[in-house]
Chain A
Amino acid sequence: MARTGVIICHCGSNIASVVDVERVALAAGQMPGVTYAATNKYTCSISGQDMIKQAIAEHELDRLVIASCTPRMHETTFRKMLTKTSINPYMLEIANIREQCSWVHTDKEKATEKAIDLVHMAVAKVLKDQPLFTSSIPVHKKCLVVGGGIAGIQAALDVAEAGYEVTLVEREPSIGGKMVMLDKTFPTLDCSACISTPKMAEAGAHPNIRLMTSCEISAVTGYIGNFQVTIRQKPRYVNHDTCTGCGLCEEKCPTKVTNLFDQSLSKRKAIYKLFPQAVPAKPVIDSEHCTMLKSGKCGLCSKLCPLGCINFEDQEDFITETFGAIVLATGYDLIDWAKAYPEYGGGKYANVISGLQFERLVNASGPTEGHIQRPGDGAEPKTVVIVKCVGSRDPAKAKAYCSRACCMYAAKHAHQILEKIEGSKVYVFYIDVRTPGKGYEEFYDKTRADGAVYIRGRVSKIYEEGGKLICKGEDTLIGKQVAVEADMVVLETAMEPAHGSTETAATAGVSADKDGWLTEAHPKLRPVETQTAGVYLCGTAQGPKDIPDTVAQASAAAAKVLGLLAKDELETSPMISVVDAPKCSGCGFCEQVCPVKAISMVDVPSMYNGKRVTRTVAQVNSGLCSGCGACSAACRTGCIDLLGFTNKQILEEVDALWQE
């Protein structure tokens, strides 16, 4: 027989001035299963809690109803208190007679009646409470960072510095990402490589960081603290354990290939390092272009390598490891503007280039050693048109969103042209100029003072006539059509999620929005977390942003990871779903409605008509279940139930007022 204790709180006069608490206590004392009912002036106070503890001991209570303020206020307080008593902390129900009764009603008689009803419902529910126990899951103190751009590097370094092991996975042969392609960074104009390559080197040499380049994640199972991740190591054809990176192979390789790192503005070899400061500083073979791998002829590198590092038989490899936390820093790509903008020539004019191509042109380690030359003929352009929002803020052609960084790097490009080419002219076509950032507006002002001409309007067409690129558009400030004859046009194109990033994220249980940017758990309050506990986001994987924001977010993600890895064990809420397997039909309805993929259909041995058979039933992963109860409402039999809010408990609450 249950021995329920009911405590009615006065909350000073907050409750007692409207609700006749003594009458409620009297009524509660008459309810079935109630052994003890009393009032208390301030139940949440130390003395109030002591009184409860005493009552529990004295009356041998085995469950408790507290009628007080909202459970959202003190449920945790009282659960904590119960851990010091003989009652299980989950054998507690709270009747909300303050926020949902005394504060919202004025008629004392009716408010008292309602309070009695609410206590009655809580008593009915508590009678069906079961002791629940938090379980703990061990935390594997190791972090996986996916993506080796500046976001991934920063997150990896922060976690590694705190003393935890990090594996940094990058699909390219070197870490560095997009930042290392850039020449200078706005608004300070410090050299991008000068500030990013030391970070790369640090990551490459850090004792706590394991770099895995030319790798991709192919599968993720498990849950927070315990993710089993399968990493696919693509064949490199060069043994990186023995290679010293002497570079002889690359020098002698006879096959020349378009260099994508230089945005197709130069050639590289079929055995290559991504760029001179690559980390690791060792080459790989491009299997698509190597003549040996394609047709079995050549093998020059293999003959020349003094250490015999070349292995044409290299195969892909799968490595499975356990991680406690995952950071997704999968970055961005620029849109294929040629497809979206045939009116800009659709790629047929060599001197219409993207902003990233310009970065390579102006970069001292780029194909022109930093001299701004037209890709078409190598001439120095005197008049340059910069077009902003190519694909951004243009839902009819490409993306509806703003790519955030372009306003600033457009100003930077204008500044660089004016600085490097004497007597040059720069025209910037824009929709708006957005410069929210420290020193940003000042930089934009300076660029205009330097002589950049800003024209408010979109460019409607670019065509070549008489060796010039004619950029037609409208100057919306004066309402006139304008045409600028340019030697070169730089298109500041929209960012889009890196190809394959949504698939990679889906592997880790993270969803993407309609544009493919990965979705954070809450846009304001949980910006680096995801719906999957233990998986975090940072950098442009989450949405377009510039380098300062990217790095800040990477450190934020690292802080979240550290908060997790600092724990030896995670306490899991016991209020999760459980399956009554023998009754489960295996229809999979619960699996369909689960928001966190905590339910899987598994084969279990079973008995059927006296025979041993294998049946498929639902199984809940207690590490993943978030306790929403959608499964429970979906199940027709009622064989999957949410502990703490069971079908029986809710039915009892509904029935409570009508029981004789």
Chain B
Amino acid sequence: MARIDAENWEPKILAFCCNWCTYTGADLAGLNRMKYPDNIRIVRVPCSGRVNPQFILRGFQKGYDGVLVCGCHPGDCHYTSGNYFTRRRFLLMKRLLEYAGIETGRFQARWISGAEAAKFRDTVLKVTEEIRALGPNHRMKEADDHE
């Protein structure tokens, strides 16, 4: 992966999407030929409840400028309760990351159903813009640390 110089910097965003809702919603956005920025890289997981908060730290550490966790709306989890646990974990993790000095907005979570293609597009648009505004992430990042 080529390092990109500061002028041509484009944010890179990592997204964990649950297979049953958000990943399906992202597929539907494609099916409907909706357009959104190409900054996002999706990791498919069976359930948002699969996402260990340590993955988020890892994302920042490796060089992503923003991390997004997406799952089914509360009450709609394919596995009944997964996203309720997700909600608790990330309410806490979000606050911890901010306390650690990661800027607000670099980590976000959203509930997007399999039918909400437009919401998926809008979320990607909004999150990309917010992270673009924050600029490249240097905090908790490996490459910077080695310099």
A residues adjacent to B (C-beta < 8 A): 70-72, 96, 98-101, 103-107, 110-111, 113-114, 117-118, 120-121, 531, 575, 593, 595-596, 626-630, 632-634, 642, 645, 647, 650-651, 653-655, 657-659
Q: Which residue of B38, B42, B82 contacts A105 across the interface (Cβ within 8 Å)? A: B38
Q: Tell me the complex Cα distance, A37–B73, Å.
A: 39
Q: Which residue of A106, A595, A650 contacts B35 across the interface (Cβ within 8 Å)? A: A106
What are 26 A-B residue pairs whose CB atoms fall within 8 Å in the complex?
Answer: A98-B30, A99-B27, A100-B30, A101-B38, A105-B38, A110-B38, A117-B1, A120-B1, A575-B46, A593-B49, A595-B77, A595-B80, A627-B46, A628-B79, A629-B49, A630-B47, A632-B50, A633-B49, A633-B51, A633-B53, A633-B89, A650-B45, A650-B52, A654-B14, A654-B59, A658-B143
Can you name the residue of chain B whose Cβ is closest to the Cβ of A596?
Answer: B79
If over half of A's interface residues share one DSSP class (helix, strand or loop), that class is named, otherwise mixed; here it is helix
Q: Give the residues in chain B near A98, CB-CB below 8 Å.
A: 30
Can you name the residue of chain B whose Cβ is closest to the Cβ of A629?
Answer: B50
Say whether B128 faces chain A, with CB atoms less than 8 Å apart: no
Q: Are A114 and B41 in contact (CB under 8 A)?
A: yes
Q: Are A114 and B79 in contact (CB under 8 A)?
A: no
* Minimum distance in angstroms from B112 CB to a CB of chain A: 13
Q: Tell me the complex Cα distance, A658–B141, Å.
A: 11
Q: Are A651 and B58 in contact (CB under 8 A)?
A: yes
Q: Which residue of A117, A121, A628 contacts B49 across the interface (Cβ within 8 Å)? A: A628
Q: Are A72 and B49 in contact (CB under 8 A)?
A: no
Q: Tell me the complex Cα distance, A118–B42, Å.
A: 8
Q: Are A107 and B46 in contact (CB under 8 A)?
A: no
Q: Are B38 and A111 in contact (CB under 8 A)?
A: yes
Further 13 A-B residue pairs, CB within 8 A, beyond A645-B45, A650-B52: A96-B27, A101-B38, A103-B30, A103-B31, A104-B34, A105-B35, A107-B38, A595-B82, A630-B85, A633-B89, A653-B43, A657-B12, A658-B142
Q: Tell me the complex Cα distance, A106–B41, Å.
A: 16
Q: Which residue of A100, A575, A632 contacts B42 across the interface (Cβ within 8 Å)? A: A100
Q: Are A654 and B55 in contact (CB under 8 A)?
A: yes
Q: Give the residues in chain A near B33, CB-CB below 8 Å.
A: 103-104
Q: Are A628 and B38 in contact (CB under 8 A)?
A: no
Q: Are A630 and B38 in contact (CB under 8 A)?
A: no
Q: Are A647 and B52 in contact (CB under 8 A)?
A: yes
Q: Tell me the complex Cα distance, A113–B10, Å.
A: 12
* Minimum distance in angstroms from A88 CB to a CB of chain B: 20
Q: Tell me the complex Cα distance, A642–B45, Å.
A: 10
If over half of B's interface residues share one DSSP class (helix, strand or loop), that class is named, otherwise mixed; here it is mixed
Q: Interface centre among A70, A71, A105, A120, by most B CB within 10 Å?
A: A70
Q: Interface centre among A99, A113, A531, A627, by most B CB within 10 Å?
A: A99
Q: Are A104 and B36 in contact (CB under 8 A)?
A: yes
Say whether B109 faces chain A, with CB atoms less than 8 Å apart: no
Q: Are B46 and A629 in contact (CB under 8 A)?
A: yes
Say yes or no: A96-B42 contact (C-beta < 8 A), given A72-B23, A104-B33, A630-B49: yes
Q: Tell me the complex Cα distance, A72–B31, Å.
A: 13
Say whether B104 faces chain A, with CB atoms less than 8 Å apart: no
Q: Are A642 and B46 in contact (CB under 8 A)?
A: yes
Say whether B44 faces chain A, with CB atoms less than 8 Å apart: yes
Q: Are A650 and B47 in contact (CB under 8 A)?
A: no
Instruction: Please report which residues of chain B, range 46-73, place their CB below 8 angstroms from some CB of chain A when the two chains form the complex.
Output: 46-47, 49-53, 55, 58-59, 62-64
Q: Are B80 and A531 in contact (CB under 8 A)?
A: yes
Q: Tell me the complex Cα distance, A632–B46, Å.
A: 12
Q: Are B35 and A104 in contact (CB under 8 A)?
A: yes
Q: Give the residues in chain A near B52, CB-CB below 8 Å.
A: 632-633, 647, 650
Q: Are A114 and B49 in contact (CB under 8 A)?
A: no
Say whether B113 faces chain A, with CB atoms less than 8 Å apart: no
Q: Give the residues in chain B near A653, CB-CB below 8 Å.
A: 43
Q: Tell me the complex Cα distance, A632–B42, Å.
A: 20
Q: Give the residues in chain A near B53, CB-CB below 8 Å.
A: 633
9 A-B pairs with least C-beta separation: A99-B30, A629-B50, A630-B49, A103-B30, A628-B79, A99-B27, A628-B47, A633-B52, A658-B62
Q: Tell me the complex Cα distance, A121–B42, Å.
A: 9
Q: Give the residues in chain B near A647, CB-CB below 8 Å.
A: 52
Q: Give the residues in chain A near B62, CB-CB below 8 Å.
A: 654-655, 657-658
Q: Give the residues in chain B near A655, CB-CB below 8 Å.
A: 58, 62
Q: Are A595 and B45 in contact (CB under 8 A)?
A: no
* Minimum distance in angstroms from B51 CB to a CB of chain A: 6
Q: Are B80 and A70 in contact (CB under 8 A)?
A: no
Q: Give the residues in chain B near A106, CB-CB below 8 Å.
A: 35
* Minimum distance in angstroms from B17 CB to a CB of chain A: 9
Q: Interface centre among B31, B50, B58, by most A CB within 10 Å?
A: B50
Bitwise interface map of B from 76 to 89 toward A, beta carbon under 8 Å scored 1, else 0: 01111110010001
Q: Tell me the complex Cα distance, A107–B33, Å.
A: 14
* Minimum distance in angstroms from B130 CB to a CB of chain A: 19
Q: Interface centre among B1, B42, B121, B142, by most A CB within 10 Å?
A: B1
Q: Are B43 and A628 in contact (CB under 8 A)?
A: no
Q: Give the residues in chain B near A104, CB-CB below 8 Å.
A: 29-30, 33-36, 38, 121
Can you name the residue of chain A whose Cβ is closest to the Cβ of B83?
Answer: A630
Q: Give the residues in chain A near B143, CB-CB below 8 Å.
A: 658
Q: Give the residues in chain B near A70, CB-CB below 8 Å.
A: 23, 27, 30
Q: Give the residues in chain B near A96, CB-CB below 8 Å.
A: 27, 42, 44
Q: Give the residues in chain A near B55, CB-CB below 8 Å.
A: 650-651, 654
* Minimum distance in angstroms from B89 CB to a CB of chain A: 7
Q: Are A99 and B31 in contact (CB under 8 A)?
A: yes
Q: Give the residues in chain B near A642, CB-CB below 8 Å.
A: 46, 50
Say whether B137 faces chain A, with CB atoms less than 8 Å apart: no
Q: Are A72 and B27 in contact (CB under 8 A)?
A: yes
* Minimum distance in angstroms from B144 CB to a CB of chain A: 12
